[in-house]
Structure 1
Amino acid sequence: MKKSILFVFILLAFGGVLFFYNLGGWDLWNPDEPRYAQVAKEMLQGEGWIIPHLNGEVYFDKPPLFFWLIAGTAKLIGGMNEAAARFPSALFGIGIVLLLFFLGKKLFDEKAGLLAAFILATNIEFIWLARRASIDATLTFFTTAAITLLYLGFYQKRGRWGFYLLAYLAMVLAVLTKLQIGVIVPVFVIGGYFLFRREFGFFKDSSHIPGIALFIAIIGGWLALAYLSGGGDYLWGLLYQKTSSRLLEETSHTRPLYYYLVNFPGNFIPWIFFLPSALIYGLSHKERTKEFVFIVFWFAIIFVALSLFKAKRELYLLPLYPAAALMVGALLAKLPLGAEGAVKRICSIPLMVMIVLLALIAMSLPIVAALKGSFYLEHPWEIGLITALITGGGAFLAFLAHRYRRRDLPFYIIVAMVLALTLYGAGRIFPEINKYKSARPLAQAIVGAMRPGDQLGIYQLEGANFIYYTGYNQMRWLEDERKLKEFLRSSQGVFCIMRERHYKLLQQDPTLVISVVATGQVGSKHLAVISNRQLP
């Protein structure tokens, strides 16, 4: 028990540094961050807490819980800013890490839980999403909690209904975070697993009844309030047009069936090298247990189900990352990276592959930074050299620890290397990239040029970043050229943000009297701000 408490404090300290260091050190970046922060800001400005709004209009895409969390954080710290927008993700990122420690301890042993927690915390996709104003870390906490409570609850002789009640509460919060996927993930994982195991008693258990009643009461109450506030059109848009239909129909996120097969390995770096070994070892006849089969099923059912949906984004897979971390953690707890013996080759071979690749990356980083980094960075050589030293040093030390059979030391060297890279990235790299990615400078130029009564529009761009950084939440969304020209011919002063190539096409129309207010680059987009007002 004392050791578990110590491990919890270690994970809290580690996660606190990893996820919170310089959390507000750069601006909110597209596609999601400024949009979610703006929705929360409009809640604070009086648009209402039941139905989210963006740009003064009903925002159908997501339910309100995540925006409540951002708005609540902003209230606590005295105002909306980048740290407030990212705080919920970082907080729930630590929550998932701690939850995985306890689940790993229950399924395997304390060491497996600790290693799995570190593995989850230090893969690049999890770090990225736990440090962004992104819904998916919050969603993954609730889906992981629901899966954990339903699975462990089934094997309890007493108090099973309490586990189930908390599981259904977690599903309530998951639905309020990201709608149907908050139920789909735990139902597919737990329901599918117990069907696979022919454990039909799970489905007949009356202990579910209080939890189901709680779920229906809370979600039903929320839907009733939403209906009273927004009517049937709002519920139709929220529950189908902007959510479910995107999973089944062609959307801007439509990807091929094999999309996740290509993307997941790169996102689970550096631990992806050990995942095949974990599957081979854990599913071997001698080592196979129902607990390991459960986490393999968890991983596989989500991977397959989400691959079948037409809409795909890398972050959609985050709810299976805890299962992947548990598989690798269970392997490395039994077969430490620095141990001896022929069977340990199942770990030593992927470790050597990883070390070689890290060494190659370290050697190439200064060159790549010098050739390509000057476009994004002010100090490409410095950043290239320091990241190379951290990466190469980590690879070399891990090799030495393995060579001299220091058991778990290679693992913790890799963890420390990822921590060092993350802190350097958060403190140095991302603030420099911010000048390339941020909409703030162009937004400030717009604010400086606009007068009271002027109107702002945006042409064929998302625009939430400009709404957030201009503070102007009555922006006109313009999608076709005819409406754009009507807007620019308005008798009042108007400004419009568009791509530079669209501005060059407008210059060919002699009936338009327009001038350029400012130009700039936001990400890969070269933008111009134009006005029908002649500026000095």
Structure 2
Amino acid sequence: MTPPPRWLRAASAPGVAPLLLTLLALAMFLPGFWLVPPLDRDEPRFAQASKQMLETGDYVDIRYQEATRHKKPVGIYWLQVAAAKITGFEADAPIWVYRLPSLIGAVLAVLLTFWTARAFTGPPVAFIAAAFVAMAIVVGVEARLAKADAVLLASIVAAQGALARCWLSARAKQSWGLVFVFWTALAVSIVIKGPVGVMVVGLTILTLVVFTRRARWLSSLRPIPGALYLLVLVLPWFVAIGIATDGGFYAEAIGRDMLGKVGQGQEGHGAPPGVHLAAMFGTFWPMAALMLPAAGAVIRDRRTAVVQFCLAWAVPSWIVFELVATKLPHYTMPLLPALAILTAYGVARAADMPPRRVLVWIAAALLALVPLGLLVASIAAPLYLGAAPSPAGVVLCAFAAPAGFFTARFLVRTRNLLGTVPRAGATALLIYVAVWGFVFPALSPIWISSRLTQAVAEVSQCADPEVMSVGFNEPSFVFLNGTDTRLAAPDAAVPWMQGAGCRILVIDAPYEAAFVERAARDGVSVTLAGRVAGVNINGGRTLDIGIYRKTEN
């Protein structure tokens, strides 16, 4: 194999690589981390449930207002609660505090990809693989959202890194350190997102055993003491929640959430097989652009340990995700590190075996079109929504678009995949700073909850008003305005406004005329104190929300 270039040897040097990868990950993940409001719907649901744990002191049951939230285990909520306590914000924590576990999980996933790849390859290839994970669009998204998936990714990569070393050694006895990492990471994946981590790791093991016809190495995982240790870690909460909910958690989490997603698309996210494969060229960009020209070297070396392990990691679980009816872009993220290691390996090997020109042209098109498309979107999206484009965002996108073009031109002219990587990384960094740091926060019409919460505070005649919302039920409004925010049907508005105390009603335009008419008929004097208009990011429906308070006589 051709020696790596000087910059890559320096970047992947012992002690230097983890530091540079951490800085790279933070550079990719931090733009917009504090600026973007809660992004409906999953993020504020997670954050609100964690907030209510802090408010009530109940760290076993999971609730969203009065409703149970029995879709995922408790792990991510505990981490978010810990973040709120450590930072000192407690229940008043802003959304970025609840995002800290995701940020840390994403950075760990990058570093653990490097560690996993080092089981098979030298530092240069491992560095490129980890950099691909840091650059991927989907990882950047999940690092900025207060959800479970970034932490799940880190736990799966940790388990796979330990598994890889046990498989490679083929010794009956392995160091207890690796065994501890494997079973601890698997336990973390269970308390974060149930069976997903077990499925990915289990299918990897099954595929390796079947296709290599070797199973003796499994004893190095110490399966009996390891499984007992795992049960000690995960059983206490699972027993406690079963008792607290009289089995209701399992009926909801397994019967309706997990199995429901398998059979039919939930919440409008159904899609046929093949959608994940098509979406990968966007969600895994810019790495996805280099996968095709790197594939030739991977296919030629298909009998090597690194290729066998990564294919066992990626292919079986990918098939499962394609067959599941419900599909979301982040579902395949646990398989990204396997593809990143394969692509990095193929990129390094391509220095000796240049890829076919047609594959290079396809890769170049993907590298150039994504930045160009985002430049157009940075101008068109705000104008479509009725907002002014962010000048800084447009300028940065205007730099990213030619950067993508010159990266593509370099690839076409040289067929140098390795030299393309830092150029693609620089383009990606420009895009993420532009989109997350400026373009996205400036799309004020979609941030209805933030503006509505501010408007309620401005028109209120008391410090802590009671608030009811009719026609606008997004979780971000509950999180920002407070747990006691009432989400009600139109018929409940007038009777509620008749009650004592400082009360404010926010009501969407389709229900407004009937409310005003009934209030007048029932002798309830109300005043229109303000309006907030915008576009609901979920479904794209235009909203025009009136803010009413009782008229003081």
Match of residue 499 from structure 2 = 492
Aligned residue pairs total 524
Judge conservation of contact 1:488–1:532 (CA < 8 Å) in 2. Answer: no
> Relative to 1, partners in 2 of residues 1:452 and 1:427: Cα closer, same or farther, differing over 3 Å?
closer
Task: Give 1:388 shift.
Answer: 2.3
Match of residue 215 from structure 1 = 230
1-side partners of 2:380 and 2:189: how far apart? 44
Q: What whole-Å deviation, never above 9, does each CA across 1:432-491 have from its counterpart, x for those lacking one?
A: 1255335111022234456689754445654321111112x134444xxxx531453344
| Structure 1 position 224 matched with structure 2 position 239 | yes
Q: What whole-Å deviation, never above 9, does each CA across 1:96-154 have from its counterpart, x for those lacking one?
A: 11111121121222221111111111121111112222211111111121222223223
> Per the alignment, in what secondary structure is the counterpart of residue 327 of structure 1?
helix
2-side partners of 1:378 and 1:210: how far apart? 61
Task: Give ranges in structure 1 of 5+ residues lacking alignment.
Answer: none
Judge conservation of contact 1:374–1:380 (CA < 8 Å) in 2. Answer: no
Match of residue 270 from structure 1 = 286
1-side partners of 2:200 and 2:472: how far apart? 32
| Structure 1 position 528 matched with structure 2 position 545 | yes
1-side partners of 2:181 and 2:374: how far apart? 47
Written as runs of structure 1 = structure 2, the 5 A alignment for 1:3-402 is 3-79=13-89, 80-156=93-169, 157=171, 158-160=173-175, 162-202=177-217, 207-252=222-267, 253-284=269-300, 288-336=303-351, 343-346=353-356, 349-356=358-365, 358-359=367-368, 369-375=378-384, 377-380=387-390, 383-396=393-406, 399-400=409-410
Larger displacement relative to structure 2 (207-216 or 368-377): 368-377
Task: Give 1:62 shift.
Answer: 2.1
Q: What whole-Å deviation, never above 9, does each CA across 1:322-365 have from its counterpart, x for those lacking one?
A: 112111111112224xxxx7x3134x654444444555566676
2-side partners of 1:87 and 1:303: how far apart? 28
> Per the alignment, in what secondary structure is the counterpart of residue 145 of structure 2?
coil
> Relative to 1, partners in 2 of residues 1:272 and 1:397: Cα closer, same or farther, differing over 3 Å?
closer
The aligned amino acid for 1:485 is D
Q: What whole-Å deviation, never above 9, does each CA across 1:29-64 have from its counterpart, x for those lacking one?
A: 112222222222222212411222221443212222
> Relative to 1, partners in 2 of residues 1:486 and 1:8: Cα closer, same or farther, differing over 3 Å?
closer
Judge conservation of contact 1:497–1:527 (CA < 8 Å) in 2. Answer: no
2-side partners of 1:499 and 1:257: how far apart? 38
Task: Give ranges in structure 2 of 5+ residues lacking alignment.
Answer: 1-8
Match of residue 415 from structure 1 = 425
The aligned amino acid for 1:419 is L
2-side partners of 1:202 and 1:95: how far apart? 27
Q: What whole-Å deviation, never above 9, does each CA across 1:283-331 have from its counterpart, x for those lacking one?
A: 23x5531320221232111211012122221111111111121111111
Instruction: Output the aligned Cα RMSD.
Output: 3.2
The aligned amino acid for 1:265 is F
Match of residue 475 from structure 2 = 464
The aligned amino acid for 1:311 is T
Q: What whole-Å deviation, never above 9, does each CA across 1:400-435 have from its counterpart, x for those lacking one?
A: 487468773322111122122222333322321255
> Relative to 1, partners in 2 of residues 1:331 and 1:371: Cα closer, same or farther, differing over 3 Å?
same
2-side partners of 1:217 and 1:328: how far apart? 38
The aligned amino acid for 1:528 is I
Judge conservation of contact 1:387–1:421 (CA < 8 Å) in 2. Answer: yes
1-side partners of 2:32 and 2:121: how far apart? 35
The aligned amino acid for 1:304 is I
2-side partners of 1:203 and 1:268: how far apart? 32
The aligned amino acid for 1:63 is P
2-side partners of 1:363 and 1:222: how far apart? 49
The aligned amino acid for 2:346 is L
The aligned amino acid for 2:156 is T
1-side partners of 2:315 and 2:484: how far apart? 45
Q: What is the TM-score when the length of structure 1 is the normalising length?
A: 0.87
Task: Give 1:83 shift.
Answer: 2.3
> Per the alignment, in what secondary structure is the counterpart of residue 119 of structure 2?
helix
2-side partners of 1:388 and 1:333: how far apart? 31
Q: What is the TM-score when the length of structure 2 is the normalising length?
A: 0.84
Larger displacement relative to structure 2 (50-59 or 158-167): 158-167
2-side partners of 1:460 and 1:239: how far apart? 31
Judge conservation of contact 2:360–2:411 (CA < 8 Å) in 1. Answer: no
> Relative to 1, partners in 2 of residues 1:37 and 1:163: Cα closer, same or farther, differing over 3 Å?
same
Judge conservation of contact 2:83–2:100 (CA < 8 Å) in 1. Answer: yes
Judge conservation of contact 2:347–2:417 (CA < 8 Å) in 1. Answer: no
> Per the alignment, in what secondary structure is the counterpart of residue 106 of structure 1?
coil
Match of residue 484 from structure 2 = 474
> Relative to 1, partners in 2 of residues 1:182 and 1:475: Cα closer, same or farther, differing over 3 Å?
farther
2-side partners of 1:166 and 1:119: how far apart? 24
